Amino acid sequence: MTPSHIAFIMDGNGRWAERRHLPRKYGHKMGTEALERTVEAAAECGIKTVTFYAFSTENWSRPQSEIDYLMDTFRKFLARKNDYQEKNYRLVFIGNLGKLPQDIADSCRDAMARTESNTGLTVVIAMNYGSWEEITSAVNQLLAQGKTQVTEQDIVRALYTSTVSFPDLVVRTGGEIRLSNFLLLQSAYSELLFTDTLWPDFDKKELKKVIEIYSKRVRKFGGLGGDHVEA
Ligand code: IPE
Ligand code: IPE
Ligand code: MG
């Protein structure tokens, strides 16, 4: 089966550039192109939701020049939000937007409001996102509402992902085998896939490969899975 929601940890931009003796920022530039390619490929493959990890709460520890370049990349991406509107895509930003430069935060909120009722592909961008920050913010939100007891549903509603399904598949490019603080609760039962492909090389062919691998996985959710027949 085709996954309904794929979440990508877009890793390997820097190494892609370093291998070509180019500045790391060139890898981020090519990484943005890979994101745009993947959005279109996902829509063509019938996927309903794609999530991209663009900047983590830990990425602030990078050199300021790289952070500045990434912020400019986000500005350029946001400048094209009308294309998303025209394509009927819904844009959702997850993460602590308040800590981003004001113009980026405003632009993210504007893009979300404008595309909120679109019915095509949902494109989720995780920006200044970290699961620990998300869960801390959710707990504080629930405390502020005066809650002394919470249900699982209260927590789901207080997460940044409240309007989005949980990922069926989490793909990390770049060869590292870790989640780096990404959707830790939401991926509790996701299939995980790690590929050595560096993010700037990701394309429709790679997407089809991951969909093919996913389609052979048996999801059990604690049960016995698919077509198990009682003996
Ligand atoms: C991922 O690529 C993009 C961001 C974290 C913003 P990296 O920049 O981490 O690339 P590598 O891991 O150094 O190759
Ligand atoms: C994860 O990549 C964050 C994003 C893809 C935005 P990193 O390159 O920052 O992760 P670590 O530090 O290697 O775990
Ligand atoms: Mg990395």
pLDDT tens digit sequence for 69-83: 999 999 999 999 999
Distance CA 142, CA 41 (A): 38
Distance CA 128, CA 125 (A): 10
Q: Indicate the pTM of the whole model.
A: 0.97
- Provide the pLDDT confidence category of residue 126 given band limits of 50, 70 and 90: very high
Q: Residue 231 pLDDT more than 90?
A: no
| Residues that are catalytic | 11, 59
> Residue 98: what pLDDT?
96
Counting Cβ atoms within 10 Å, is residue 124 exposed (0-12), middle (13-18) or buried (19+)? buried
Ligand approaching nearest to the C-alpha of 18 = 1
What pLDDT, in 10s, does the model give residues 65-122?
999 999 999 999 999 999 999 999 999 999 999 999 999 999 999 999 999 999 999 9
CB 22 within 8 A of CB 231: no
Cα(180) to ligand 2 centroid in Å equals 6
Could you tell me the CA-to-CA distances from 116 to 76, 84, 130, 167, 212 in Å, in that order? Answer: 21, 11, 23, 19, 31
Cα(132) to ligand 1 centroid in Å equals 20
Amino acid symbol at 126: A
Counting Cβ atoms within 10 Å, is residue 21 exposed (0-12), middle (13-18) or buried (19+)? exposed
Distance CA 88, CA 82 (A): 10
Distance CA 165, CA 111 (A): 19
Question: Going from the N-terminus, what domains does the chain have, and what CATH number goes with each?
Answer: 5-130+165-215 (3.40.1180.10)
CA nearest neighbour of 24 among 11, 35, 36? 11
